[in-house]
A and B are shown apart, each in its own frame.
Chain A
């Protein structure tokens, strides 16, 4: 079966712009989590969606937002981009919430200039 698909793979944006990233989970998976990965901080949790509802949110400013659609696909949006937002954004899908294995997409590499 198809894995987790993230689009686009690479993105270059200018400070102040906004960006939308997309994640299609594995078919049948209902939980989608987003992470930001930077060399210095590792994988940091952004938010988790399950059944179209945000269930958990990490310690990120309100410029970071997301949503999940009825088909479990998820998008995350970052407004008023800052240089420090340059990172690899990873999406992970799980069958259910809780103690289940998470499968990661290839990520979107965002560069803010």
Chain B
């Protein structure tokens, strides 16, 4: 089976840095994805990690530790438009993505 653990909600201040954690237990693992979903909109791809370590993409970075079943998404220089849900998802080979329940981030002034 697949199990995920993400905080349900987080609040952070504009301009600050926030780290959203995701721990997972899956029957297989090929890669971990992060998606952003604004309220009422479709999820959009942010990043993915296949190997351990940090992947940086502008203001967003994602880290993976396969041995610990752990990933985090780091958002720097937070902007109001970053208020959204952030979903981690695992790919286990020839299976579709399995998603965690997501973390709702509120960015306040």
Interface residues of A (CB under 8 A from B): 4, 33, 35, 41-45, 48, 55-56, 90, 92, 97-99, 101-107
Residue of A at shortest CB range from B99?
A: A43
CB distance from A102 to the nearest CB of B (A): 6
Q: Which one of B31, B42, B101 contacts A104 once the chains associate, using CB atoms below 8 Å? A: B42
Q: A43-B102, A99-B31, A101-B45 are in contact. List 11 more A-B contacts (CB 8 A).
A: A42-B87, A43-B43, A43-B89, A45-B96, A45-B98, A90-B42, A90-B43, A97-B94, A98-B94, A99-B50, A104-B42
Residue of B at shortest CB range from A4?
A: B42
Residue of B at shortest CB range from A109?
A: B40
Docked complex Cα distance between A97 and B93 (Å): 8
Docked complex Cα distance between A35 and B43 (Å): 11
Q: Which one of A48, A97, A107 contacts B42 once the chains associate, using CB atoms below 8 Å? A: A107
B-side interface mostly: loop
The answer to whether residues A99 and B42 also contact, given A33-B96, A41-B101 and a CB cut-off of 8 A, is no
Q: Are B96 and A48 in contact (CB-based, < 8 A)? A: yes
Docked complex Cα distance between A56 and B48 (Å): 22
